[in-house]
Amino acid sequence: MNNDKLKTILKVLGVILALYLFLVGIRGLSSGIKALGGDFADSIMTTTSNPFISLLVGILATTLFQSSSTTTSIIVGMVSTGAITLSGAIPMIMGANIGTTVTNTIVSMGHIRRGNEFKRAFSAATHHDIFNVLSVIILLPLELITKQYFGIGLIERTATGLGTLLFGTISTDEVFKSPIKAAIKWGSKHVESLSFDSTALYIILSVLLTFAMLFFLVKILRSLVLHNIQQYFDDYIFKSAARAMAFGIILTIMVQSSSITTSTIVPLAGAGVVRLHQLYPFTIGANVGTTVTALLASLTLNVTAMVAGFAHLFFNIFGIVLIFLNPLLKNIPLDLADALSEKAVDNRFLPLFYLLIFFFILPFIFIYLWG
């Protein structure tokens, strides 16, 4: 057996181990939150009862984690315990979609000394921000209005409807049973044994394990997948919008991170290899692909957690339908990204201000004042 084959086998085994430990972390988080009891759940529900604050929490948490997969997996874990209601989780999930785009912006700033190259890279990064923000601007009010008039929001109803169709009953008591879940429960018990009977420490260890394993999972999958597929980006993947979107979905599922798949393309856009209109469907495909991580996490929990994962999926699908497939709105992210990148080339401090204020300072201030 040559070295390359051995390395590939070891990487595959590493993926399996990292995925297992990631799911152990999610299970531990859920168990730890349950152990905190009703007072903790009440305090979380009070915070997330304000959809605007919930949205900002999603943005800030994902910006800090540099991963919407981590944030949404944690949200799914909290929904599974009843600490957060599905309606309270949906704005947070929307915020996670915005926060995940910060990685692209950071990558684009590596081109800041090279005028036209930076313009292309920055517009490639910010069109993702703008698309996700526009999705929230449309869908969050729609969710709140439909909840006001019909008692349940559009996304919540759609996700719950699919859950009811597949599982019959939507309840935290309806759990998935499988040998894999039993193995994950066994692993979470071992993590708990390291917490010295401290629930807070158990939760912290579980969150750290979740974050660390997702980081390693993404890193290993990136080396396995993207290294072998980058050569096909220009020649095959971006030949049509449908193909680009499909590959955006598939690649993100394979590497378990939309940040990785989209930020990998930003330097290609900067170099002029990929045009912005070609990148657009790939980016929104990555939005859909990243929902798989939370759905995987929910398999270790219960039906309510799975429905929260469905909500994340439908938010991204509705965004595609209402914006990308709508001739009136489709070009807004591209036009605004081009305009913003023009300004960024003229004022090189603008990207830094944009990054700090939009992703960090404003969410923190609003959460601190009204959270």
Does 175 map to a domain? Answer: yes
For 24, 152, 225, 370, the CA distances from 125, given in Å and listed in that order, are 33, 34, 22, 30
Q: b vs e for 152-173, b when ≥16 Cβ sit within 10 Å of the residue's Cβ?
A: bbbbbbbbbebbeeebeebebe
Does 76 map to a domain? Answer: yes
Is residue 123 scored above 90 in pLDDT?
yes
CA distance 23 to 19: 6
SS3 state of residue 16: helix
What pLDDT is stored for residue 282 in this prediction? Answer: 94
Q: Give residue-wise pLDDT tens across range 41-62.
A: 455 545 667 899 899 888 988 8
Which of 49-53, 263-267, 341-345 has the weakest average pLDDT? 263-267
Does 1 map to a domain? Answer: no
Average the pLDDT over 156-175 and give the result.
80
Domain boundaries, position 37: 13-370
Does 200 map to a domain? Answer: yes
Contact call for residues 308 and 291 (beta carbons, < 8 A) = no
Q: How confident is the model at residue 97 (pLDDT cuts 50, 70, 90)?
A: very high
Does 356 map to a domain? Answer: yes
Does 131 map to a domain? Answer: yes
Q: What six digits make up the tokens of 256?
A: 């378990």
Higher pLDDT, 85 or 6: 85
What pLDDT is stored for residue 213 in this prediction? Answer: 78
From 38, 58, 22, select the one nearest 371 (Cα to Cα). Answer: 58
| Dihedral pair phi/psi, residue 322, rounded to 5° | -80, -25
Q: Please work out, in degrees rounded to the nearest 5, the angle formed at the alpha carbon of residue 280 by the alpha carbons of 275 and 286.
A: 125
From 196, 177, 200, 203, select the one nearest 28 (Cα to Cα). Answer: 203
Higher pLDDT, 141 or 304: 141
Higher pLDDT, 70 or 295: 295
Q: Give residue-wise pLDDT tens across range 353-364.
A: 888 888 888 888
Does 7 map to a domain? Answer: no
Which of 53-67, 156-170, 212-226, 334-348 has the weakest average pLDDT? 212-226
Is residue 230 scored above 60 in pLDDT?
no
Instruction: Give the number of other CB atoms < 10 A from CB of residue 326.
Output: 12
By percentage, how much of the chain surpasses pLDDT 90? 29
Residue type, 4: D
What pLDDT is stored for residue 336 in this prediction? Answer: 95
Contact call for residues 261 and 274 (beta carbons, < 8 A) = no
What pLDDT is stored for residue 283 in this prediction? Answer: 94
What pLDDT is stored for residue 101 in this prediction? Answer: 87
DSSP 168: S
What are the percentages of helix, strand and coil residues in the chain, rounded to 5? 85, 0, 15
Element containing residue 312 per DSSP (H, E): helix 303-319
Is residue 311 scored above 70 in pLDDT?
yes
Is residue 252 scored above 80 in pLDDT?
yes
Which of 86-90, 215-219, 245-249 has the weakest average pLDDT? 215-219
Q: Give residue-wise pLDDT tens across range 178-192.
A: 566 677 778 888 888
Split into its structural domains, the chain has a count of: 1
What pLDDT is stored for residue 297 in this prediction? Answer: 81
DSSP conformation letters of 115-165: HHHHHHHHHHHHHHHHHHHHHHHHHHHHHHHHHHHHSS-HHHHHHHHHHHH
Q: What six digits make up the tokens of 96?
A: 């996670």
What pLDDT is stored for residue 179 in this prediction? Answer: 64
- Residue 175 pairs in a beta bridge with 302
Average the pLDDT over 247-268 and give the result.
81
CA distance 243 to 62: 28
- Considering the chain, what is the average pLDDT of its residues? 82
Contact call for residues 313 and 299 (beta carbons, < 8 A) = no
Q: Which residues contact 14 (CB under 8 A, 6 or more apart)?
A: 216, 220
Q: What six digits make up the tokens of 140?
A: 């969050």
Does 320 map to a domain? Answer: yes
Q: Please work out, in degrees rounded to the nearest 5, the angle formed at the alpha carbon of residue 295 by the alpha carbons of 190 and 99.
A: 95
Is residue 4 scored above 90 in pLDDT?
no
What pLDDT is stored for residue 162 in this prediction? Answer: 93
CA distance 92 to 72: 8
Contact call for residues 92 and 110 (beta carbons, < 8 A) = no
From 326, 275, 354, 345, select the one nearest 135 (Cα to Cα). Answer: 326
pTM: 0.81
CA distance 50 to 331: 31
